Amino acid sequence: MRLPSGDHVRLFTAAAVPEVKFCGPSVHNNGEWARRFMEDFGRSNHVVLITEHLYAGGAGNKVPTPEYGRDRMLGDESWGSNSFPKAYQKLYESFVPMAISNGLPYRLEEVNNYFNGGATNVSNTFAASLWGLDFMYWWAEHQAAGLNFHTGDRVAAGNTLLPSKYTAFFSTTNGYIVRPLGYGIKAFDLGGHGRFVPMKISGAENLNVRAHAVLGADKNIYVTLINNEHGDSRKDIQVTIALPAASAEAVSLTAPNGDVSATSGITLGGGEITSDGSWNGKWVQIGQSENGRTMLTVPAATALVVRFKR
């Protein structure tokens, strides 16, 4: 029996189930497929979500050295065509404006840093914590309805199932072992709920730093600062935030000795995420000057989530 394909499948299903809803095309880093999907089906009232995959670094088994893989993952636009942020922007421009013009939400429903289960001593390191945190903010700020990190104890690497390097957690008999990426996800959970607010950054032109600001449902302002400076030339950054508030407190995302190659010892707010998924970190009060300016230090290879209570 030969099954119908393409639009015949859609028409056959829609005729049988008039209220049926679809999402697609769910391909990797290919905006052309998404555009064609919208051209063919986007105005049918049966499509409710445009989906894409993205592994910005490409194949994990082709990363030449762990140092290169981590540097690239944390790098800025100075990496040119190899830049992770430029890969985000290219995919965004290739299909999202069309989705928005058609009134269709979009979601990256399979993502991670390098595919084929990730790159050894790259995807399983603290570098993935910092990368994942900024990656979630980037797409949230670009109207994504959400994203799903590909995870699992064993994942497909070509035709083989191999232990995952990029997973956010591993299963154990007593719960889970949370990996570095999981800490980045938790940091986003602490500071990423609400509405983005404009934020002007000055004086950081030569530093590898990211910053994001959110007005939470609790009326507090959350500012996430990510210092991707690492290696021998890394720099701590001194930050002044001009934002009147009653008080300010913070949690820091850190690895031992600021080592982006660390695979263990990572903490958030001084605490770990335990095997049952609970987090035992704490918000710490930070000082504030009299003129409404909060001054703080973000060490190299560290992220800081600051909550301004109003």
Please choose, from the candidates 123, 3, 102, the residue with its C-alpha nearest in 3D space to the C-alpha of residue 55.
Answer: 123
Summary count for the chain: helices (H), strands (E):
6, 17
CATH number at residue 43: 3.20.20.80
Within-domain flag for 302: yes
Task: Judge if pTM exceeds 0.85.
Answer: yes
Q: Could you tell me the pLDDT band of residue 4, with boundaries at 50, 70 and 90? A: very low
Cis? peptide before 25, omega within 30° of 0: yes
Last residue of a domain, one of 157, 184, 211: 184
Q: Could you tell me the pLDDT band of residue 289, with boundaries at 50, 70 and 90? A: low
* φ and ψ of 64, to 5 deg: -65, -40
Do residues 176 and 232 share a domain?
no
Q: Could you report the per-residue pLDDT of 216-263, keeping only the tens digit for each?
A: 999 999 999 999 999 999 999 999 998 887 789 999 999 999 999 999
Q: Could you report the per-residue pLDDT of 143-187, keeping only the tens digit for each?
A: 999 999 999 999 988 888 999 999 999 999 999 999 999 999 999
247 DSSP β-pair partners:
309
Long-range own/partner contacts, residues 168-174 (CB < 8 A, 24 or more apart)? 172/275, 174/275
CATH number at residue 248: 2.60.40.1180
Find the domain containing 145 and state its range.
Answer: 19-184
The answer to whether 40 touches 32, Cβ cutoff 8 Å, is no
